């Protein structure tokens, strides 16, 4: 083998697509089809019920509260991406004061993202409790069934993302050195988190805004 071929071999390995990232994208594509089926179910039942009955059910929704909860979740994608930027420069933790957010590492940004995601789940539980007290449950009406199924499955995905953040932070804490493997794990988790955020924006628009 020539010296030029030997020199180019490492570069070829580095430029090769990461199998974990590719697998995650393929899996998220299947999840997209799952949520597409939920959207189809929602709009089909909405068409069967009729706009007047549907409008009466949506009056129970607290749109301002849901908008605040949605804003928190959307902003968590921003903090998650800042964590990815830190991971890409192999900065696991902050290099300055906790108040100097510009010097935060992946661990601090992901911890903030976890807190914002947990706030969203807490807000969703609070909303469920309020709606149940108003008489809207999973079995009370077709609207209740599709509302809890669509938002509930999304909430389960958000909870899965929170568990993923915990796993990443624990693995980084236990690792002696922050390297490519840890950075790749952080990036893959960010793919999933951005996905659930985008899906929620679509759900929020369909359920809360489109009357």
| All domains in the chain, ordered by first residue | 19-209 (1.20.120.80)
Residue 189 has pLDDT above 70, yes or no: yes
Average per-residue pLDDT for the chain:
84
Q: How confident is the model at residue 97 (pLDDT cuts 50, 70, 90)?
A: confident
Confidence of residue 95 (pLDDT cuts 50, 70, 90): confident
Instruction: Specify whether the CB–CB gap between 61 and 208 falls below 8 A.
Output: yes
pLDDT at 13: 38
Nearest to 114 by CA among 41, 174, 165: 165
pLDDT of residue 20: 63
Rounded Cα distance, 154 and 168, in Å: 21
Q: Could you give the percent of the chain with pLDDT greater than 90?
A: 45
Per-residue pLDDT tens digits for 111-158: 999 999 999 999 999 999 999 999 888 888 888 889 999 999 999 999
Residues 6+ apart with CB under 8 A from 117: 73, 76, 158, 161, 162, 165, 193
Residue 10 pLDDT > 70? no
**1: pLDDT strictly greater than 50:** no
| Higher pLDDT, residue 86 or 94 | 86
State residue 211's pLDDT score. Answer: 67
Nearest to 200 by CA among 75, 78, 74: 74
- Measured CA distances, 65 to 7, 168, 200 (Å): 58, 31, 15
What confidence score (pLDDT) does residue 45 get?
Answer: 85
Q: Can you read off the two tokens belonging to residue 4?
A: 């030029």
Please give the average per-residue pLDDT across 185-196, as a whole number: 92
Which pairs with CB-CB distance under 8 Å and at least 24 residues apart come from 28-36? 28/191, 28/192, 28/195, 31/157, 31/195, 32/195, 32/199, 34/153, 35/153, 35/154, 35/199, 35/202
| pLDDT of residue 17 exceeding 60 | no
| pTM assigned to the model | 0.84
119 or 31: which carries more pLDDT confidence?
119
CA distance 171 to 166: 9
Split at pLDDT 50, 70, 90, the class of 166 is very high
Which tokens hold the place of 209? 């805004």
In whole angstroms, give the CA distance from residue 113 to residue 82: 10
């Amino acid at each position: 083998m020539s010296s030029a071929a030997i020199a180019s071999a490492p570069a070829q390995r580095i430029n090769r697509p990461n199998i974990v990232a590719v697998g995650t994208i393929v899996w998220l594509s299947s999840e997209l089809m799952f949520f597409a089926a939920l959207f189809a179910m929602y709009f089909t039942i909405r068409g069967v019920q009729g706009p007047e009955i549907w409008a009466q059910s949506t009056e129970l929704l607290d749109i301002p509260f849901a908008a605040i909860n949605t804003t928190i979740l959307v902003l968590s994608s921003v903090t998650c991406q800042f964590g990815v930027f830190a991971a890409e420069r192999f900065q696991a933790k902050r290099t300055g004061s906790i108040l100097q957010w510009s010097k935060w590492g992946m661990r601090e940004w992901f911890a903030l993202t976890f807190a914002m995601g947990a706030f969203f789940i807490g807000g969703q539980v609070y909303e469920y409790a309020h709606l149940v007290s108003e008489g809207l449950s999973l079995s009370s009406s077709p609207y209740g069934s599709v509302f809890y199924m669509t938002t509930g499955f999304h909430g389960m995905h958000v909870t899965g993302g929170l568990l993923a953040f915990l796993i990443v932070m624990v693995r980084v804490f236990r690792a002696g050195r922050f390297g490519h493997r840890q950075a790749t794990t952080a990036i893959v988790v960010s793919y999933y988190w951005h996905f659930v955020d985008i899906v929620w924006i679509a759900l929020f628009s369909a359920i809360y805004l489109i009357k």
